Chains A and B, each alone.
Chain A
Amino acid sequence: MNRRDSLKAIGLGTITAATLLEACKPNNNKLAEDTTDKTGSADPTRLPNEIERDKKLNAEKFFNDHEMATITILADIIIPKDARSGSASDAKVPDFIEFIVKDKPYNQTPMRGGLRWLDLQCLNRYDKTFVDSTSVQQMEMVNEIAYPKKAKPEMQQGVSFFNRMRDLTATGFFTTKMGLEDLGYVGNTPNKWQGVPADVLKQYGMEGV
């Protein structure tokens, strides 16, 4: 073999001259789901189709004003203000719940139906919707659906609804700055993990494990 061939063979060859042929006329046939140009984007970690999707979701409205008012009262009953931190509505949990039902539509009917179920219960007992009932009446109603193990059988749909409300409220609250501080989470920051601190190992008798 000649020197040129053997040099080429061991990877020191040169590419033969070329340029790709250009398209006859440039056009924009790119598909929306494959668009990945992020120039000009406020958040470089989001793809254009993700930004578009969230913009669309934010522009929609699912709950009406009455439903939002009911959700707000319920959320603050579930997580009230206390000595350590604010209430669910202080942490904007109702807005979070509104976004979540748009983002995850399987929540829509259970939430809408549950809210209506609750209003019917209150109308039958107090002649008023949940938001218009007195505090005492609201608490009486909530007590009927907040304890799955002792709720009456005819309250079961309410128990299901309240479980969902409780879950969404807890997630909505404890994933905010207020909630993380309340919980005492101190991670998400550069550090050196050196294992469980010595005093904690001692507390649980785990020194030798």
Chain B
Amino acid sequence: MNDIQIKKSSTTYDAVIVGSGAGGGMAGYVLAHAGLKVLMLEAGPFFDPAKDSSQLKWPWESPRRGSSTNTRNFGDFDGAFGGWELVGEPYTTKDKTEFYWFRSRMLGGRTNHWGRISLRMGPNDFKGHHIDGLTDDWPITYDDVKPFYDKVDRMIGIYGTVENLPNEPDGIYLPPPKPRLNELFIKKGAEKAGVTVIPGRGSVLTEALPNNKDRGACFFCGQCGRSCKVYGDFSSSSCLVIPAMKTGNLKVIANAMVREVLTDQSGKATGVSYINKDDMQEYQVKAGIVILGASAGESARLLLNSKSAAHPNGLANSSNVVGKYLHDSTGSSAGGWLPQLMDRKRYNEDGVGSIHIYGPWTKDNKKLDFPRGYHIEFGGGMEMPGYGFGWGMENMNGSVPGRDGKPKEAGGFGASLKDDYRRFYGTGFGMAGRGMAIARADNYCEIDPEVVDKFGIPVLRFHYKWSDYEIKQAKHMQDTFQSIMHEMGATYGPPEGPETNYGLEAPGRIIHEVGTVRMGDDPKTSALNKWCQAHDCKNLFVVDASPFVQQGDKNATWTILALSMRTAEYILDQRKKLNV
């Protein structure tokens, strides 16, 4: 008898959701609360921040003092398992592409460790073609999405301030955390450099959320990236999936890697097949509706791997756009230190683990050599020491006089050096630009014709190159940072130059991939309609960042949540009308 069989369930769920991140989690939450019987399949293990977070651990509780490992690429205490390279789950590239693909294999996905920066896309992000002709418009406007952004703000909680900026729509806000001392210096310097700085916008409960007894208010440990034991910030695991399971209508199977979406002869989706990593057995499940929330890369991969007679080019791909228009945010950064802050008074400056201040894009592109823009994320303060603390003292302690007022020789050792670490503590700061890259058909992912992963699933192959627009945008970031740091009176190094593309991070490094299953009104040039419903397959929906036509200079998560809620409500409406 064979060890491995395909076990076919005779249960038919109302909906099966692939992926438990922001999009999958929100869809599961809405549908379960409406009474549908939903199955959610998550490729990684179950994760509950209340039990599994490393929050409040001291650096010495890690033998490597919190530095990164190959299983936790952002630090030993970081809330994400998985990373750029997964054992047995490769991806490939072609034509000298350099692309990095981050996979958080766990309940809640990347929302466990993300920066909680929550920005609404603006009217000019949904409809930007009129600005310079370089981008495609979404089939929906900001006004179409606004009611859902509002509901998400109230449901999940977000801090910020009303600023009435034209393309940075205001939300419904809890009070923002006040700036740290270094950030006051940044604000003052930035304003002198002509850069607008406003309070940050983040999904952290700076005050308790009314009508929600499941989540605690933030207690300002600054460790959102570890995920929060009292559910004080947004993770899909804590805020969406675990509450949805309490309705009794959502079943979650973890360690389930979906290999394809199953369809019948008419082309209708009937369910999915997956491998259960716990017993290495194959399963098929049936559902009336199939919802993909596996991430831009994985959802495209699933569709392309789900070929059939009815869908010879891959499921929902008669337009041939699936995999295309992949784009990540641009990113470039800088940092320095403030001699004015030496010998500072100690107090608890942890704050929240998201941005206290940020710089929205307010420049006029007519005066610039690149389209659109970027926002700047700022930070600095007396952080908890971790691996890397004190490094490079030889580049700092020779530039200021010693306690005796006399010049010091750079580097050194002994009592005087030990004292230097105390003196310089809390003087550092950093800044990073996160901007809009233009979506192009020739940045894409496709199925590698030769390579499979350890589960036998064909892998993605990436083809991606930054254009001059993105490189010039990064140069502008570097020039802006130099201006700001100069006006701050900081000590800092020279800007990144053309040899590094002005510090422009390699594609994928910002981990904001979007666009691979784009929505549109025309089935010839889009895979989904404006409800994120597949043109070719009416009972198939996509709720992660794949449907994005064009990302703004706004991190994707808040828009993923709003669109997923909108799609889930559309599904309920269509079910009532017996259309799906």
Contacts of A106 in B (CB 8 A): none
29 chain-A/chain-B pairs, Cβ below 8 angstroms: A11-B36, A15-B37, A16-B11, A23-B281, A30-B278, A31-B454, A34-B277, A45-B54, A79-B417, A96-B63, A148-B394, A148-B410, A150-B409, A171-B388, A175-B66, A175-B389, A176-B60, A184-B346, A185-B382, A186-B346, A186-B348, A187-B350, A188-B350, A188-B384, A189-B221, A191-B348, A196-B181, A200-B344, A204-B340
CB distance from A72 to the nearest CB of B (A): 14
Contact partner of A171 (CB less than 8 A), chosen from B180, B391, B575, is B391
Determine whether the beta carbon of B409 is less than 8 Å from that of A78. no
Contact partner of A78 (CB less than 8 A), chosen from B383, B392, B413, is: B413
Inter-subunit contact A193/B411 (CB<8 Å): no
A175-200 contacts to B (CB < 8 Å): 175-177, 179-180, 182-197, 199-200
Q: Provide the residues of chain A in CB contact with B81, threshold 8 Å.
A: 47
Within 8 A of B (CB), among A27-46: 27, 29-31, 33-34, 36, 44-45
Considering only residues 347-377 of chain B, those with a C-beta below 8 Å from chain A are 347-352
**Chain A residue contacts of B67, Cβ below 8 A:** 103-104
**Interface residue ranges, B against A (CB under 8 Å):** 1, 3, 5, 7-14, 31, 34-37, 45-46, 51-54, 56-60, 63-67, 69, 71-72, 81, 87-88, 177-181, 184-185, 187-188, 219-222, 254-255, 277-281, 283, 340, 344-352, 382-394, 398, 409-415, 417-418, 421-422, 425, 454, 572, 575-576, 578
Which among A59-67, A110-118, A128-136, A162-170 touches the partner chain? A162-170
**A183–B36 touching, CB < 8 Å:** no
The residue that A49 contacts in the complex, of B71, B220, B283, B394, with Cβ under 8 A, is: B71
Q: How far is the CA of A171 from the CA of B389 in the complex (A)?
A: 5
**Chain A residues whose C-beta falls within 8 Å of the C-beta of B255 in the assembled complex:** 34, 36
Question: In the complex, what residues of A have CB within 8 A of residue B387's CB?
Answer: 171, 175
Contacts of A104 in B (CB 8 A): 64, 67
**With contact pairs A11-B575, A167-B390 given, residues A206 and B184 touching in the complex (Cβ less than 8 Å):** yes
Known: A9-B578, A30-B277, A209-B184. A166 touches B52 (CB 8 A): no
A residues near B, CB below 8 A? 1, 5-6, 9-18, 20-21, 23-27, 29-31, 33-34, 36, 44-45, 47, 49-50, 53-54, 57-58, 77-80, 82, 96, 99-100, 103-104, 142, 146-150, 162-163, 166-167, 170-172, 174-177, 179-180, 182-197, 199-201, 203-204, 206, 209
Which B residues touch A193, using CB under 8 A?
177-178, 220, 348-352
Structural contact, A166 and B413, CB atoms closer than 8 A: yes
9 closest residue pairs by CB, A with B: A195-B178, A170-B390, A190-B219, A36-B45, A11-B35, A29-B280, A175-B59, A18-B10, A184-B346
Inter-chain contact A50/B88, CB cutoff 8 Å: no
Q: Is the CB of A50 within 8 A of B389?
A: no
Q: Which residues of the other chain, A, contact B53 by a CB distance below 8 angstroms?
A: 45
Contacts of A195 in B (CB 8 A): 177-179
Q: Which residues from B are CB-within-8-Å of A25?
A: 1, 3
When the two chains form their complex, are residues A44 and B51 in contact, meaning their CB atoms are under 8 A apart? yes
Give 18 A-B pairs besides A11-B14, A18-B9 with Cβ atoms closer than 8 angstroms: A10-B34, A13-B37, A16-B10, A18-B10, A44-B51, A44-B52, A82-B415, A82-B418, A96-B65, A104-B67, A183-B421, A184-B346, A193-B349, A196-B349, A203-B345, A204-B184, A206-B188, A209-B184
Residues of B contacting A199 in the complex (Cβ-Cβ under 8 angstroms) = 345
Q: Is the CB of A171 within 8 A of B279?
A: no
Task: Give CA–CA (A54, B63) in the complex, Å.
Answer: 8
Question: What's the Cα separation between A190 and B223 when bound, in Å?
Answer: 11
A80 to B412, CA, bound (A): 13
B411 and A147 within 8 A (CB) = yes
Q: What chain A residues lie within 8 Å of B178 (beta carbons)?
A: 193-196
* A187 and B412 form a contact (CB under 8 A): no
Given the known interface contacts A170-B390, A179-B385, A209-B188, the answer about A188 and B58 at a Cβ–Cβ threshold of 8 Å is yes
A146 touches B412 (CB 8 A): yes
